[in-house]
Amino acid sequence: MTESPITNHESRLYPPGVLFDLDGTLLDSAPDMLATVNRMRAVRGRPPMVLEALRPHVSRGARAMASAAFPDVPPGQVPELVPEFLAVYREELGRHGRPFDGIEDMLAALEADGTRWGIVTNKPEALARDLLPGLGWATRCGVLVGGDTLAERKPHPMPLLHAAEAIGIAPADCVYVGDDRRDIDAARAAGMPSVVALWGYRLDDDDPVAWQGDAMVVRPVDLLEPVAWPTRRSGVDP
């Protein structure tokens, strides 16, 4: 019997399974977030925030973005802004952001090679799922795990392990791609090779080298090169 592309690892260009973070990795969603915080600032009589000031905080979630947008609000009161942020963001969802340059070509190459891919994000699952149809990913994405899908979220490995099981690929044969340290920490805890997406969102004092991912990639288009992909966790024999 002929072996399927999923199990015949020797003939593949790319890993059998790839899981991605969403914001800052697949999707440049910072413009949606900027529209959200600027609506919040406008109702308080404040001038618009510039994209460059918000962008580094996007991968850290709603609380971090609300704190960046309202630095004068005491840290203990920032959580009170989160429900408003999420409500406004639902109205701005998908209106301004788009996939990073090269993402669509990379996904097409993975699919042509028989790779199964999915998304593991800390964004609430309903918000992430609402984005997929407009991106054309609803029927292409093999699994979507949000920050509230399971009892744990990244950097815990549970979401990655759950997603790998859902697409039928062993964790060691998947690769996780993300732009935040917790992405790489989650992959390491799951026994999954990782790629640091250097095109994503980072604070100035972040040092992605210190995250100790298995590969670091500057642009999505670089992942068209099969050699850019780690095939196993470092130190694990093939």
**Looking at the annotation, which residues are catalytic?**
21
Q: Does 148 count as an annotated binding residue?
A: no
Q: What CA–CA distance (Å, rounded) separates 165 from 159?
A: 10
**Terminal Cα-to-Cα distance of the chain (whole angstroms):** 24
21 in a labelled binding site = yes
Distances (CA, A) of 77 to 54, 72, 184, 190: 19, 10, 30, 34
Is 179 labeled as ligand-binding?
Answer: yes
| Phi, psi at 213, each rounded to 5° | -70, 165
Between the CA of residue 11 and those of 217, 227, 232, what are the distances in Å?
A: 23, 14, 16
Exposure of 238 by Cβ count < 10 A (0-12 exposed, 13-18 middle, 19+ buried)? exposed
Binding-site residues for Mg(2+), in ranges, read 21, 23, 179
Binding-site residues, in ranges, read 21, 23, 179
